[in-house]
Structure 1
Amino acid sequence: MIDELDLLKKDWQKRDEHLPKLSFDQIHSMIWKKSSSIVRWILIISILEFTLPHLLYLIPSFNKNMEIYDKLGLHNWIIGITIFSYGVAFYFLFQFYRRYKEICVLDSAKSLMKKIIRTRRTVKHYIIYSLSMIMVIVILMIIGVYLNDDIFSTFSGLKDKAQNVSIEKIKISLMIGMGIMGIVLTAVMGGIYFLLYGLLLRKLKRNYNELKQLEV
């Protein structure tokens, strides 16, 4: 049995001699190219994520639903949040573009590792911000319902369905429904972010680990 194992080891050693051996610079170059491609996809996805939702404004029914914000007295708040969101979105787009330009420069393994860490941190901050904004809007809508004195004019469809129900109960039901909707929407968006950005972040982490092994 031992003789057979020795023969197998020798056979694999002979095969290994014929395999092409990659130098440190070649491996580093391969990891750099993969990392650059990943960051480019992060930039592309973030741009699409920013532009595609604006196509919803072309749908008449979507614009009609936006009137609810005005009826809830959230017009100024939504404008403020929209301006703030545009500013933050452009900031992150600029950061993703900056990370892409940084990582496109072929540098030392140690420098590339730092750039990968910086990119992963930026993406994580962007995900946290995006999910937080969903909950902020939902919380504002809940407050708007709570402070609304004429709930039937805001949600005209409720007048026929809840004739014998008190305004307080209707408000509580709406607020609970909005809260559940906010949690579900945040979870769904978190899942989408996990699939899109999470996959790319895991690849970046793998590249980081490979570079770390090269530095040892």
Structure 2
Amino acid sequence: MTDELDLLKRDWQKKEVNLPKLSYSDIHKMIWKKSSSIVKWILIISILEFTLPHLLYLLPSMQDGMEVYKKLGISNYLLIVSIITYSAAIYFIVQFYKRFREISVPDNSKSLMNKIIRTRRTVKHYVIFSLSMIMLTVIVMVIGVFFSHDIADAFPDLRQGLQNISEEKLRFTLMASIGGFGVVLTLFMGCVYFLLYGLLLRKLNKNYRELRQLEI
């Protein structure tokens, strides 16, 4: 659809006679429809991202993980982090819905460009917040391991397999492992966000540039 729009736009600018000519309003309408579709996909992806991970809680391994958090004494802290994360996620989903409603209403080019800017800003804030909360969760877990009085009780299977390792060495090994996993997970999710939201934002940016050209 992008190539078709570029072709028709060049035809409108050059005023060639061999292709149908498009008016300013025709091109503006095509850009508006594309932008509305992009924001709709941003909304859909954010909803799926919020709902699908909850299926993991049905797995037995996740229930075992909750027991580990209780033994480490960080279950209450993780609950606070979860409440903040869920509240913010719902807030951003509502914002994406508002952006979709706003951009779905036909408007002039200047107003449409402002809506695109607001959408881009909301998406960037959402990505930054999501990655920050992943790191915050990891930090809470690392601190929980550091202050835990009995690592062997929290990780009995691991302690049995590493009987020759001292309590302190096991503690710092776990802290390093959790911290390293947190960094890898944050980088991985950053790549996922870049592929999903980044691709959609690049399309929005292209629409923004085309609108600016129309205004010149």
Give aligned-pair identity as a percent: 61
Q: Relative contact order (alpha carbons < 8 A, sep ≥ 6): 1 or 2 greater?
A: 1
The one-letter code of the counterpart of 2:101 is K
Query: Unaligned regions of 5+ residues in structure 2, if any?
Result: 1-14
Matches of 1:136 and 1:185 in 2, distance apart? 12
How far has the Cα of 1:118 moved from its partner?
0.3
**Map of 2:130 onto structure 1:** 130
Matches of 1:87 and 1:120 in 2, distance apart? 21
Matches of 1:160 and 1:91 in 2, distance apart? 45
Per-residue deviation, residues 37-86 of structure 1 (Å, max 9, x unmatched)? 00000000000111101111111222212222111111211111121112
User: SS in structure 2 opposite 1:141?
Assistant: helix
Higher Cα Rg, which structure: 1
Matches within 5 A, 1:1-216: 16-216=16-216
**Map of 1:10 onto structure 2:** none
Matches of 1:162 and 1:38 in 2, distance apart? 52
Query: Unaligned regions of 5+ residues in structure 1, if any?
Result: 1-14
User: SS in structure 2 opposite 1:17?
Assistant: coil
Matches of 1:19 and 1:162 in 2, distance apart? 75
How far has the Cα of 1:88 moved from its partner?
0.7
User: SS in structure 2 opposite 1:165?
Assistant: coil
Q: CA RMSD in A?
A: 1.4
Per-residue deviation, residues 77-128 of structure 1 (Å, max 9, x unmatched)? 1111121112111110110000000000100000000000000000000000
Which deviates more from structure 2 when the two are superposed, residues 145-154 or residues 53-62?
Answer: 53-62
The one-letter code of the counterpart of 2:149 is D
Length-normalised TM-score, structure 2: 0.91
Per-residue deviation, residues 1-51 of structure 1 (Å, max 9, x unmatched)? xxxxxxxxxxxxxx9321112111000000000000000000000001111
